[in-house]
Amino acid sequence: MPPPVLRFAPSPNGFLHLGHAFSALLNFQSARQREGRLLLRIEDIDATRCRPEFETAIYQDLAWLGVSWERPVRRQSEHLADYRAALDRLAALGVLYPSFESRAEIAALVKAREANGAWPRDPDGAPLYPGTAKPLPAIDRDRRLRSGAPFALRLDMEAARRLAGDLAWIERGSGPDGETGEILARPEIWGDVVLARKDIPTSYHLSVVIDDALQGVTEVMRGLDLFRSTAVHRLLQKILDLPQPVYHHHDLIRDSEGRKLSKSSEATGLRELRARGITPAQVRGLVGLP
């Protein structure tokens, strides 16, 4: 069997915390034990939130932890043409459409629908897009795009689902309800997800799928919070004809109140822990690794 290829893919929009340390160490160990490769990917598509000093800190904190990775590092902001090409393919397949409503307009549309009963929400709790831009005639779309109006490119979930047929992925870890093994993917729970915007010409879902394929990643090991997103990733892989990695979702490190850690919390930031004299070995202990 060829050696497994894993990746750790942080976003440089804050400093790494214990949760990142756990994920990076699991990936590193798993690659090591199986004589595999560990790649590092910098997910910096959101220029409004990502900063070079956070990227530098990622390299320093991982090195301090004893994690090593292959060079060169892939920085998503340098590969926008790859995502553009994927969007062109999706458009040619007829599963992409632009929407033009602002967030406030979408909220008002959802509110109007909620007057007639509950409106569905995605697994993150956000209401599904009401689909009002989907039936816009091509001539209106073109006119609005030409006018320079802001837009979001959305996946036509119904059309994509029809194209893809049945979908499943192999889970080596487990989901929030203990799901493991072959998992039936139900991307429709996310509705018509945004795959790109005028100001950010790609999205997390699209770039993660394209990069995992381009980088030959065979195993995606990441936090449980992304378990439900995997359905969208599987759908995109299938319609774009990309190879299918196996997935391993791991537990999240939580604070003493059981909340997911945040990048702004000083109590669990790797920099703060290091400044307080905590050693890498103690970090392993704090996240429950031997």
CA 120 from chain centre, in angstroms, equals: 22
Helix (H) or strand (E) holding 281: helix 280-286
Tally Cβ neighbours within 10 Å of residue 261: 19
DSSP single-letter state for residue 261: P
* Least Cβ distance, residue 59 to ligand GLU (angstroms): 15
Secondary structure (3-state) at 286: helix
Q: Is 173 in the site for ligand GLU (CB under 6 A)?
A: no
Q: Is 10 in the site for ligand GLU (CB under 6 A)?
A: yes
Closest to ligand GLU by CB, 24 or 90: 24
Q: Considering only 3-11, 102-110, 146-154, 178-186, which stretch makes contact with ligand GLU by CB under 6 A? A: 3-11
Q: Is 39 in the site for ligand GLU (CB under 6 A)?
A: no
Give the orientation angle of helix 80-92 with respect to helix 204-214, to 10 degrees: 100
Q: Is 157 in the site for ligand GLU (CB under 6 A)?
A: no
Q: Is 226 in the site for ligand GLU (CB under 6 A)?
A: yes
E strands along the chain, which residues?
Answer: 5-8, 37-42, 74-75, 96-99, 152-155, 168-171, 181-184, 194-197, 219-223, 246-250
Q: Considering only 7-15, 29-37, 79-87, 178-186, which stretch makes contact with ligand GLU by CB under 6 A? A: 7-15
Among 5, 9, 26, 194, interactor with ligand GLU by CB under 6 A: 9
* Least Cβ distance, residue 208 to ligand GLU (angstroms): 5
Angle at Cα 180 formed by Cα 179 and Cα 185, nearest 5°? 70
Q: Is 154 in the site for ligand GLU (CB under 6 A)?
A: no
* Least Cβ distance, residue 256 to ligand GLU (angstroms): 22
Distance (Å, rounded) from C-alpha 30 to C-alpha 36? Answer: 8
Query: Which sign, positive or negative, has the C-alpha torsion 57, 73, 250, 238?
Result: positive
Residues 6 or more apart whose Cβ sits within 8 Å of residue 239: 90, 93, 95, 160, 163, 164
- Say if residues 240 and 96 touch (Cβ distance below 8 Å): no
Closest to ligand GLU by CB, 163 or 246: 246
Q: How many residues does the chain have?
A: 290
Q: How many residues bind ligand GLU (CB under 6 A)?
A: 7
Q: Is 219 in the site for ligand GLU (CB under 6 A)?
A: no
Q: Considering only 8-16, 51-59, 188-196, 241-249, which stretch makes contact with ligand GLU by CB under 6 A? A: 8-16
DSSP single-letter state for residue 192: S
Residues 174-213 that bind ligand GLU (CB under 6 A): 208
Q: Is 222 in the site for ligand GLU (CB under 6 A)?
A: yes
Q: Is 217 in the site for ligand GLU (CB under 6 A)?
A: no
Q: Considering only 4-12, 65-73, 144-152, 177-185, which stretch makes contact with ligand GLU by CB under 6 A? A: 4-12
DSSP single-letter state for residue 149: -
Q: Considering only 5-13, 108-116, 131-139, 245-253, which stretch makes contact with ligand GLU by CB under 6 A? A: 5-13
* Least Cβ distance, residue 83 to ligand GLU (angstroms): 15
Among 4, 5, 6, 11, interactor with ligand GLU by CB under 6 A: 11
Interface residues toward ligand GLU, by CB under 6 A: 9-11, 43, 208, 222, 226
